[in-house]
Amino acid sequence: MLSEKKLQELMARREEIDALFMTPDITRDQKRYTEISRERIEITDVLDKYHELKEMEDKLEETRVMVRDHPNDLELQELIKAELVELEEKRKQIEAELKLLLIKKDPNDSKNIFMELRAGAGGEEASIFVADLFRMYQRYCEGRKWKVEIVNSHASDMKGFKELVISISGKDVYSFLKYESGVHRVQRVPLTEAQGRVHTSTVTVAVLPEIEEVDIYIDPKDLRIDVYRSSGAGGQYVNKTDSAVRITHLPTGVVVTSQDQRSQLQNRVKAMQVLRAKLYEKAEEEKNLKISQERKSQIGTGERSEKTRTYNYPQNRVTDHRIGLSLYKLDKIMDGDLDEIISSFQLYAENMSM
């Protein structure tokens, strides 16, 4: 999986990067510094996982020797064989993790993200499902010790959200959540349904990598910045000051808002981060029209007939239509257990890259 030659190449490249860090020129080029810092982290992750695999293989061999050295101790043999099964499972898991690390990476994989959830078809029930999805992602992020923060929200009448923009920060967030973009369809009996009939509603999810200032330049002259009084449920400061911020990028017409931070300055910083992410995505789509068309076909307009994933409550089933995966544990998934769905997409991406 990782040849001796490849291992030496990675070790040599890490030493080369360490030498670059010692040169004065690299600190003056912030973009280059950020790029090679990320590259070093990725190389170190691969090398650490490789050494972890070798240690596990050594431990397995030591355990096999114990089996051979005690052929007549049946009780000890049973204990050792049980340990061998456990160690082999761990070895397979580490090997799979190393395999994923060796796949050619999306340059954005290590980045934090902005996630936009918007109610589609289904009226109030769609807004309630936005809140349900938010809770699902929040629970998943808690398990990975990622930080979740509301950037902008537009509440509905029944404790849901017509629109919700959140930021998620932590290790390799985009690599795990980038496949969540699309139309999420829910089939269940709404709270507003008196006859007990199952309804279908949709929510659109978009995942944007957070883009740093060094990755995209925005001319301040191209911006119109408006401030207004916040209207969401953002805490004790909401509705007391004109702290909400709306930024319009005049050349493209892209508009972003932030109102859930505690001050106008914090809202402005967060809105600029969202704007950079949107403009970066727009530039990437324009650069590659095919990718743009594929992404739009995945995200869609939120109509009931469009779907990338279906959450069927009567059957306790979640189906991802892109990879043909059905899991009958909707209750656990809605409580943040997304590991099987996400790992299935990672394996799918691995097979597509081979």
- Cα(40)–Cα(35) distance, integer angstroms: 9
Closest of 282, 113, 295, 278 to residue 209, by C-alpha:
113
pLDDT tier at 307, thresholds 50, 70, 90: confident
Helix (H, G, I), strand (E, B) or coil at 295: helix
Chain segment 309-333, per-residue pLDDT in tens: 999 999 999 999 989 999 999 999 9
pLDDT tens-place string over residues 251-263: 999 999 998 888 8
Q: Residue 179 in contact with residue 168, Cβ under 8 Å?
A: no
What is the rounded distance in angstroms from the CA atom of residue 276 to the CA atom of residue 189? 39
Token pair recorded at residue 164:
């919700």
pLDDT band at 236 (very low <50, low <70, confident <90, very high): very low
pLDDT computed for residue 297 by the predictor = 47
What is the pLDDT at residue 240?
54
pLDDT band of 346, cuts 50, 70, 90: confident
Q: Give me the residue label for tokens 């109102």.
A: 259
Q: Which amino acid is at 15?
A: E
Kindly write down the DSSP assignment for every residue of 198-220, as one continuous string.
-EEEEEEEEEEE---TTT----G
How many angstroms separate the CA atoms of 246 and 259, rounded?
Answer: 9
Structure letter (DSSP) for residue 238: T
Q: Tell me the pLDDT of the chain averaged across its residues.
A: 85
pLDDT tens per residue, range 179-230: 999 999 999 998 767 677 899 999 999 999 998 776 778 889 999 999 988 7
Handedness of CA 143, 149, 152, 156 (dihedral sign): positive
| Cα distance between residue 241 and residue 264, in whole Å | 9
Pick from 154, 156, 117: nearest CA to 231: 154
Strand partners of residue 165: 116, 152
Query: Which tokens go with 348?
Result: 């799918």
What distances in angstroms separate CA 176 from CA 2, 118, 137, one per listed residue? 23, 20, 12
Residues 244/150, Cβ–Cβ less than 8 Å: no
